[in-house]
Structure 1
């Protein structure tokens, strides 16, 4: 079942409440025509238009087209595969802000960011703040489309304005929108990238080997995996497999045994990946959303890491 986000019958969202003493970053006018910034804006427009082409939605301006929440609503539903129940068309500023708040609440839940990590809020997005809008879209692209080749090394000059007891304090700073180089921005390719790109005909052989390995471990739990693409997406079997291989009991109260929403699944998969990272099984970071979304390459990569650690005592049949 897809998670559903609904409008609240009550007033404003939490995102609309300003924080006393919070610094505000304002894009320098001199940076607005920066070539790299324009390249990033064009890239993001093209990305959104490609994602939403079947809905005949066309974005021409990030500042003017995203502020009311309509396109953000459709974009998040598409890339996160969720349902957000809000008004389709909102004309008043109050309703637009309410809609943006609900969409951002869903965004922040998926990205699992704490309030201090957020570089956007309702007032900034609805106020057509380009800097906040860019940070939001880059974060969405990084999380849901990690292989997307965002233009690297994009930074802008900003004016930092901070209210103090003695008045407004201002200063200048450099704000980075994307990572500093192509090498840093894109994940390094490994054997599984090469397998899928160069030897796709051997993928089924690897899948079968991992199926044999997994089922050998799960036989004592009377569980059988027949489809790697889907049965690991909610994190339950992955957690049970880790418990079997690593020799410890995972308290049932720490995860969702019957996950109902994507948030439940993300919680389970994130917990499993934390166990693997803490145990030194994973050498590189893995986006839990990829497993939840049924990405076979990522699922195989995680299972193979487990196999490598335990192959001496648990060889696939």
Structure 2
């Protein structure tokens, strides 16, 4: 009886391998997952999704974990392409999610002009299995099609292991996979806008002139923060956690940001990023659109990004 069961298991294994013959699977190498350029691409795509779906009250934190069930892709398709797919809003079972994803990806592939399946680097199975590589390829293609003016990190590549099942077993190979290239740096119109950015122009001046403007902004900040008993000595570093920035915006605009809405004493990167993102959202709400400033840049002590935000507040409130 045991021998028969053993033979049956061997037969099942053979059939299972047979069913996968000719299939390839790509897995990102662990070392590439730590690449700063890949992390920056992921952050840019997360920020793009959250900005696009802000009115839908949808917040994405992880690309592969939050897109696999079709909910976010469904809303993006509707928002960006105006396409309404007749699917249930919340697909709870795996079968329902796969069916929903199939309908959504079919519409997306049409809108992306990718009727030839050989050029498509994602499918229902990959997205639903939370395959990061396939998810990134899909989102980059969507940005190129629907918002080509959006800046994405250029020339992002990852090292992948390619696994292929054949009759002799599993063959593996290592190759480089291109996620973005030169075309993903934003349109000429956007670069022209950046050339006209007053802060970009300011930073081209002599260092002493740049420093004069920074000192004027620093004086402006401290004038408005003195009533709260706060003083900024290092403009490049003290705004990285978003706390003083939120308090400054509230002070200048005459409203109180509830303490429950942000982290008054942030202890990690995630809490700092939350604070800065909230601050940029508030600026957007009051009409100061900081479209070329990524919250991550401020958290990462990018002095140009920080200066752009403070300069916008300085110009607006110095005129009053």
TM-score scaled to structure 1, two decimals? 0.52
Structure 1: 5+ residue runs without aligned partners? Answer: 1-17, 199-317
Check if 1:110 corresponds to 2:111: yes
Specify which structure has the higher proportion of helix: 2
Number of corresponding residues: 176
Within 5 Å, give how 1:201-280 maps onto structure 2.
none
Segments of 4+ moved more than 3 angstroms: 183-190
2: CA distance, partners of 1:159 / 1:68: 26
RMSD: 2.4
Determine the structure 1 residue equivalent to 2:26.
Answer: 25
2: CA distance, partners of 1:127 / 1:162: 18
Determine the structure 2 residue equivalent to 1:68.
Answer: 69
Give the 3-state SS of the residue equivalent to 1:83 in structure 2: coil
Q: Is the 8 A contact 1:67 1:127 kept in 2?
A: yes
2: CA distance, partners of 1:173 / 1:160: 7
1: CA distance, partners of 2:43 / 2:35: 12
2: CA distance, partners of 1:146 / 1:19: 37
- Following TM superposition, by how much is the alpha carbon of 1:115 offset from its aligned partner in structure 2, in angstroms? 0.5
2: CA distance, partners of 1:60 / 1:189: 30
1: CA distance, partners of 2:104 / 2:22: 26
Check if 1:138 corresponds to 2:135: no
- Following TM superposition, by how much is the alpha carbon of 1:189 offset from its aligned partner in structure 2, in angstroms? 5.4
Q: CA offsets, 1:186-210, max 9 Å, x none?
A: 44459xx979x99xxxxxxxxxxxx
Give the 3-state SS of the residue equivalent to 1:112 in structure 2: coil
Determine the structure 2 residue equivalent to 1:166.
Answer: 168
> Which structure has the larger Rg over C-alpha atoms?
2
Q: CA offsets, 1:205-238, max 9 Å, x none?
A: xxxxxxxxxxxxxxxxxxxxxxxxxxxxxxxxxx
Q: Is the 8 A contact 2:150 2:187 kept in 1?
A: no
1: CA distance, partners of 2:48 / 2:192: 25
Q: CA offsets, 1:142-165, max 9 Å, x none?
A: 001111111111111100111222
Q: Is the 8 A contact 2:144 2:184 kept in 1?
A: no
1: CA distance, partners of 2:84 / 2:43: 27
Determine the structure 2 residue equivalent to 1:94.
Answer: 95
2: CA distance, partners of 1:62 / 1:173: 23
Q: CA offsets, 1:228-276, max 9 Å, x none?
A: xxxxxxxxxxxxxxxxxxxxxxxxxxxxxxxxxxxxxxxxxxxxxxxxx
Give the 3-state SS of the residue equivalent to 1:136 in structure 2: helix
Q: CA offsets, 1:25-63, max 9 Å, x none?
A: 111111111111110001000000000000110001101
Give the 3-state SS of the residue equivalent to 2:85 in structure 1: strand
- Following TM superposition, by how much is the alpha carbon of 1:167 offset from its aligned partner in structure 2, in angstroms? 1.5
Give the 3-state SS of the residue equivalent to 1:85 in structure 2: coil
Structure 2: 5+ residue runs without aligned partners? Answer: 1-18, 197-320
Within 5 Å, give how 1:140-159 maps onto structure 2.
140-159=142-161
Give the 3-state SS of the residue equivalent to 2:34 in structure 1: coil
2: CA distance, partners of 1:20 / 1:63: 26
Q: Choose from 130, 140, 143 the match for 1:128.
A: 130
